[in-house]
Structures are given as C-alpha cells and as structure tokens.
Amino acid sequence: MVNDIAIVGYAQSPSWRASELTEPQFLFPVISEAIERAGVERREIGFTCAGSCDYLSGQTFAFVMNLEAVGAWPPISESHVEMDGAWALYEAWVRLQHGDIDTALVFGSGKSSPGKPAEIYPLQMDPYTLTPLGADPVSLAALQARAMLDAGKITEREMAEIAARSRKSAIGNPYAQVSGDDDPEALLKEPYVTAPLRRHDLPPISDGACAIVLATADKAKALSKRPVWIRGIDHRIDIHQPGMRDLTESPSTRLAGKKAGVGDAKVDVAELSATFSHQEKLLCEELGLGDDVEINPSGGALAANPVMAVGLARFAEAARQIAEHGKHRVVAHATSGQALQQNLVAVLEGD
C-alpha cells in the first residue's frame, strides 16, 4: 500500500554560466520561495533532504553549508544524497510513507562553474579501469550517440532538430540559460566538439538550484487548491561498465517507467533529463512516449543544466504544467551516472 504524496510548492533559481553567489546564497531565496508557495510553516516541515556534490563544490562537506539556506535551528531532521535532487525527492517520498510526518522539503543545488566538469566526473567512474583514463561524460555520451547512429536509431539531423526545438521552447523560460530560434540546417554546419556531438548536442555548464515541498494527502488538500500528485515513482540502474551495456537501449528507464505506470494512461507532457540531444529520443522510446506527447516545454537539460538540480527541476517543470498550465498527466525523469546509466521516472497528475 502506497500513500498518496503531492507536490505543494516548487521554486528554481535561474541557470547561470557562473554565479557570483555561493551555493547557499543562491539556494536561500529558492528554498524560501518553495516554502512560501506551499504555505507551510518552515519550522513545521517534518523532513529535509538535499542533493548536491562535494566534488563539484571542491570542498568536503560542502553540503553541510547548504543547510544554512534551510534554517536548521532548532535542529531539524535531515538527510543528504550525493545525487541529483530528484533522488532526494525519492528519499523524502519514502520517508513520508511512514505517515508520522506530513511535509518534507527537498532541494538540489550545484555550482559547476568553479571546476572543470570534464575532469571532475571521471572520478565517479570505476576507479581501476575508467577514472585513470579520464573517461568524461561528453566522450561517453558521444560513444552512445555513435552507437545509435550506427544502429539507425537516430540521425544527426534529428539530433539537431531536438536541440533546436529545445532552445526554441526555452525562449521565455526565466530559468533557462540557452534559448533561441536556430535552424537545424545551420546547426549541422557547425564543427564537431566530440564527434559525433556538436555544441548544440551538449548541455550548458550551469550553476543553479531547485526546491520542492511535498505533503501527505490530507495535508496537501488543506494546503493547496491544486496539489500535484505523485502517482508513481521508481528508479533503476544499469551496469556501470559502458562496454557491457547496449548503449542504444536503456533497460533501466524502461523498467522504471513501467513500475511508475507511465503507460497506464495518456501522457500529456514529459520533462526528461536528456542531457545530450540523442538521449531524448532514446528516453521517449523506452518510455513509450509518442508524437502526441509534448517533450520538455521548458527547454529541458539542453537549455539549463544545473547539475544536481537538473533532475529535480524536471519535477518542478512537470508540476508547473499541471498547477499552472492545466495539464493532467505529466512524466518527470531524472538521470544519474554516464550515458543514462541510472534513471528515475515519476508520473504526476492533477486532480
């Protein structure tokens, strides 16, 4: 038996190439806004869970500093995941299942600008065979894109079209970093960055944060006229070694989508953490999302990529579609690891 949990408040920071503020400083107004929008008392929140990455910040226990943006006095019940904030949301969702508390705050934040992501992320790989090669996310994504191209599962033109559509959708999104009206033909004339990926196939490097407030059913109904219900949520992981996976498939996404119930009814919109253009098509296939589903109206991760918040931001954007744009059933997806190794899928619904 799973208890209904709803999103009752959400907020994001803009996505900056390099913020002058510290991570707790730009988290501060985001957390305050999410709490205010939820209409809860900060001190009544039963559980707080954060997602961030100390390697990204370049300081051990950097995540502890982020709690200053929460207001951790008197002492609060809190936890942290060294993962995207979407996994913090999952932990809070599990915590709320206990039924002894009725609200939870989750947030994700990251400041990618100070370091060099291409040198930091190899440290999350197998330390014997992959880290010493400096196996970086762009190269690994490029291996995946090439495999999809070779298998006839996508074309470079389709990749450019996905990027162009994402940038166009991001026009007017105050949280987006990359937006504009680009002609896919013109994009295809650009040189490769890491072939077969061109600059438009890559996400920007971003600083940013996102926060969400969850509530149990009775509390959500009391707090909100339009609670956004989490109808299903699941996350799965594939094997780590990229050479032991078929990179043209994502069994973990498929299974998480099935467990979350994506295919049980019509989906209106999906907000997917497709950090590289080709991954959007792969995710849509694995989740069974057809042409009738609107993908990433926010612009998605190609428009704003605040690592450790970008997956949670998919939840905020999905919730916005329901609470502010009248959509009924929306999918939110987050990913972790390289080349879509680990995937979290949720189905959100309005009343």
The burial of 261, by beta-carbon neighbours within 10 Å (0-12 exposed, 13-18 middle, 19 or more buried), is given as middle
Residue 215 corresponds to which tokens in the numbers above? Answer: 């509530």
Output the smallest distance, CB 3 to another protein, in A: 29
Window of 198-206, 223-231, 316-324, 329-337 that interacts with another protein by CB under 8 A: 198-206
Residues 17-36: x where in contact with another protein by CB under 8 A, - otherwise, as a string: xxxxxx-xx--xx--x----
For another protein, the binding residue among 4, 33, 64, 67 (CB under 8 A) is 67
The answer to whether 83 touches 308, Cβ cutoff 8 Å, is: yes
- Asked if 7 touches another protein (CB under 8 A), the answer is no
Q: How far apart are CA 315 and CA 26, in angstroms?
A: 19
- Asked if 16 touches another protein (CB under 8 A), the answer is yes
Among the listed residues 244, 258, 301, the one whose alpha carbon sits nearest the alpha carbon of residue 278: 301
Window of 97-105, 219-227, 234-242, 285-293 that interacts with another protein by CB under 8 A: 234-242
Residue 252 corresponds to which tokens in the numbers above? Answer: 């973990």
- Asked if 185 touches another protein (CB under 8 A), the answer is no
Window of 98-106, 125-133, 228-236, 325-333 that interacts with another protein by CB under 8 A: 125-133
The answer to whether 285 touches 343, Cβ cutoff 8 Å, is: no
Per CB under 8 A, contacts with another protein among 38-57 are 42, 55
Window of 91-99, 135-143, 250-258, 310-318 that interacts with another protein by CB under 8 A: 135-143
Per CB under 8 A, contacts with another protein among 243-302 are 243-244, 247, 302
For another protein, the binding residue among 64, 153, 161, 194 (CB under 8 A) is 194
Q: How far apart are CA 40 and CA 37, in angstroms?
A: 8
Output the smallest distance, CB 12 to another protein, in A: 18
In this complex, which beta carbon is closest to another protein, that of residue 143 or of residue 260?
Answer: 143
Strand partners, 78: 48
Question: Quick one: how far is CA 228 from the chain centroid?
Answer: 17
The phi and psi torsions of 8 (rounded to 5 degrees) equal -120, -5
Using DSSP, state whether 234 is helix, strand or coil: strand
- Asked if 135 touches another protein (CB under 8 A), the answer is yes
In this complex, which beta carbon is closest to another protein, that of residue 1 or of residue 244?
Answer: 244
Output the smallest distance, CB 18 to another protein, in A: 5
* Total chain residues near another protein (CB under 8 A): 79
Q: How far apart are CA 229 and CA 66, in angstroms?
A: 28
DSSP 257-299: HHHHTGGGS---EEE---SSHHHHHHHHHHHT--TTSEE-TT-
In this complex, which beta carbon is closest to another protein, that of residue 91 or of residue 201?
Answer: 201
